[in-house]
Structure 1
Amino acid sequence: MSTERPRSPLPSGPMEGVDESTWMDVIQKMDEVYTRLIDDEVELEKKNAELEQSQQFIFSVLTSMSDVLVVCDENGVIEQANAALCELTGRPEEQLSGTPLHALLADEQSRNLARAAMEKADAPRAGEGIELNLLDRAGQSVSVDANCTPRIGDKGRRVGTVWVGRPTAELKRAYHEMRAAHEALKRTQQQLLHSEKMASLGQLVAGVAHELNNPISFVLGNVHALSKYSDRLRTYIAAMHANEPEAVLAEMRRRLRIEHLLADLPSLIEGTLEGAQRTADIVHGLKRFSAMDPEERKPVNLVEVIDRAIHWVQKGRATPVEVQWAAGEPVTVMGSAGQLQQVMMNLLQNGFDAVSHLDAPRIRVSLERGDGMARVALRDNGPGIPPEHLLRIFDPFFTTKPVGKGTGLGLSISYGIVEQHGGRLGAHNVDGGGAEFVLELPLA
């Protein structure tokens, strides 16, 4: 910029009617105008530099965008495209400029959707989401989640459209991988739940064997008696078919005790059926507990769940533990009977382990309902839970038992089951000694 002051053409001699002060005023005004021109030129250069910086900033933003950006005029012809679109299509911006947007779309459906979005008179200012398929540099279809925003001119009229899109192929692949991983995690969790259940069931084997021994022994004894009675009846009936004399038949009835046999048969058959039914009930209970639990939720009577859990855990203990429990009216929740029984058995086994060293071990179980919740409390008379363990007892694999005596999964899995049922499981120490576990479940 040149700052040389222009020379003022001054008259060589005085002019008539113009004194020297007037010339001084003219010169001063010219100096002010010149100074203002210089300031305006400096300001113009400053604005020009700021404009170049703004353009450079916008260009750098467009270049660094990972999403594709296309600016179209009112006819759908591309006016500007960013580097991401150039990279995706394999074309430079100079080649894309002036190209109809439809030429970049892979199928007729995408072209129809884009045309409808650009021709919509009442398009939302916030934009409209559309899924389009673009052609990449290899001519392959690429799914793009695009947002169509109207471009408004200075008179409030729509003068074009701005498209911002994100290729979703990677997102979809990541989503499918995440979904597959989630399904695998669910299967692993279910297998872990089942394995822990089998570990609990293994602790009950001795008690189950004893439980099965009584009815099976009873059935075997009755079957042996029925076998002997069958032989006597066969002998007597054969004599009748041989038309033996009445005296001989009377002697055989006395010797074979036929009248006693006939009188004893109903009780033998009834006892055998009862023993077989008890055996079937025990096996059915074991099968139901060990089976993989279904996903659907059904009405479950918590009283029956607690009864079964107490029965099975008691049978699996070498030394008996006093359990104070009074079954009352049915209390129904929605859930899986097998999973809830597993929770109750885990809580009972932990309580039994805590008091097993005492001379008079005792567990008190209570069931109450109120405020739409069923509340089960299990309190023992043991030493309680150390304060440093209270916050960790539901952590996976945390256990204070010796190696081989516990997996550290029982309470953790129980906590997860209760959460899945929409309930809460907590533990605390009580005044006077002992710990109390509280299970709350929504009433059906």
Structure 2
Amino acid sequence: MSGPIAANRRILVVDDNQAIHQDFRKILCAPPASTTLDAMEAALFGGPATTPVDPGFEVDSAFQGEEGIVRVKAAVAEGRPYALAFVDIRMPPGLDGVETVRRLWKEDEDLQVVLCSAYSDYSWEEMTQRLGLSQRLLILRKPFDNIEVRQLAHALTEKWDLLRQSHRRMADLKREVEEWTRELAVANGRLRQEMEDRAKLELRLVQAQRLEALGRLTAGLAHEINNPLSVIMASVGFLRSELDEQIAGKRELDAPEMREVCSDALIGADRILRIVNDFRTFSRLDGQPPTRVELKDVLDHALSAASYNLGKTQVVRDVPDSLAVHGTEAGLEQVFIGMLNNCGYALQGNPEPRVTLTGRQRDDGWVVVEVKDNGTGIAPEHITRIFDPFFTTKPPGTGTGLGLSIVYGIVSGFGGTIEVESTPGQGATFRVKLPRSTEAAAPASSFS
């Protein structure tokens, strides 16, 4: 904040009459009569001298309007502007007082002005038409009273000081606002950069989760394919050796044994085919760009696709129509089909099978969908492994163990998470958290 401004006691008198200038100097420059009397009383009677409270004014003279304009312009350039100007309204042969004031304000808009006149040269309406309504202008009729002139000088110079202080405060406030604006811009820039960095980090995290899911699938692929492939290779090798011996005439083919060997090879081939189909499904879903997906439609399609495995299961749905997430329809259908099929397997033998689907949007912007059944539940030692590739509790030959792994991979690929809670004998709850879609819903079609 700037320091205090020294009081401005500079006054300019613009009048073509030399005697008027002398009168102003006597009134404004000399100490007031009461101060002189106090000093005389102190000298005669030995009383304490009173310190003058009014140091007087610094008065300059200009005898024509043009000269006054030059003086005001020079004072502004020197950094020592006048606070007040007493301007005569008649100054032949030069500019009149009204025109002089108009041009003075072009040089210094803060200058306080008193127009002095003994005649009615201009009406107040005519002056305001030329000068505009202004609080910087007062009228003083001649002959003027000394006290009135001194009061005007005190009041208007103090008004000038207050106006300049106001300007300085406004300038200080403007600088502070500009500084705050710069600091805010820097803070906004940092925040924007942090948000961009966070978005990039979240993207990398999603990619890492996706790669982790793919890695978990790939890690078990060699082992899972190697087992049935070994059976196929052994069966084909046995068939070849048997055929070679039959061709060489060393022995006759044993048809039942050959049929059994072929069956083993076909079982192994079927196992590999199912694994490959699961991977093809997973990679095909991964290639679709995420967009706005209405969850209610997805769940309707998933329930229809899983209806065979659910059988006569009672399905309770509590999903708002307007609930939308960021993903793909095919991917999310695969997620909920896999989970509902898993519910159907867990509900086998349950006399009152029930599945509950609920969906809600949380205050933090995430959408949570719960799939709950009252089936057999999941054993504590299995619950941490159910998303591992090729892990299954089903009998051999009834599943690849990739269903929930694919579900986990798809949800992770959309930037979501999946959790499971279960109590053996009381069912399980799968909780899928997905990012809310920020895209606007497509407008409904209308026909006239």
**TM bin (shorter chain):** 0.3 to 0.5
TM-score, normalised with respect to structure 2: 0.34
Instruction: State which structure, 1 or 2, has the greater radius of gyration over its C-alpha atoms.
Output: 2
TM-score, normalised with respect to structure 1: 0.34
